[in-house]
Amino acid sequence: MGEIDDRGARLRPDRQLPSASSWLHLLELVEEAASDGRTAFHPLRELSQDERREIVTLPPTIAKLTRVEVLDLHGSNLVRIPPEIGAMTSLRRFDPSDSPRLHWFPYELTRCTRLTDLRADTAALYGPLPVLPPPTAGLADLDPGTHGTEYVRSCSVCDAPVVELHQRWTVQPVAGNPVPLLVNACSAGCAASVPDQGEQLR
């Protein structure tokens, strides 16, 4: 795990359709959970099978779910998790198991310092990592098949605005499990400051 593969590994190009009824439904569910302050969030249970198939990421508004301790995404069709998950500082259990298209997490997941139970598919996570592009300016409409995201709002390391995007992979222990994490940094210095524990954890 943690090896870069310039031959076969690729980031998934799927884009979330913002006008889809499934996406609008998910937005409503997030707002409801934020409003009532619930500690467990099981959004897929509220979506139909067809709706679940259309959801490839979560909305950035999950940053409002600061009281959620359990996030259940078991059996999802997700291809990426947004960096805003780092704002879910009460998170203790995160279950994206049986999500075969989800191969990595955002570096911001390390901000969930109370997370002790990560239920992820090792078969999906423990593989070669795609090559990332060189530093990139013009961040208005990123290609998720190239950058792993459609937007970057702030640096994964220092939270500063990003004018030129510097990306790198790192392997870090999250809830005791070594997982691949994508760093979106504002500078080469911030990117280089992130340690990689992949060698020790293999």
How many other C-beta atoms can be found within 10 angstroms of the C-beta atom of residue 86?
20
**Scanning the structure block, which residue is given the tokens 């598919």?**
121
d(CA 58, CA 80): 8
d(CA 62, CA 7): 35
Query: For residue 113, which of 82, 84, 94, 91 has the smallest C-alpha distance?
Result: 91
Reported pTM: 0.92
All structural domains of the chain with their residue ranges: 4-201
Enter the tokens of residue 92: 């203790």
Tell me the three state secondary structure of residue 89.
coil
Tens-digit pLDDT string for the chain (202 aa): 555 554 457 899 999 999 999 999 999 999 999 999 999 999 999 999 999 999 999 999 999 999 999 999 999 999 999 999 999 999 999 999 999 999 999 999 999 999 999 999 877 787 789 999 999 998 988 999 999 999 999 999 999 999 999 999 999 999 999 999 999 999 999 999 998 875 443 3
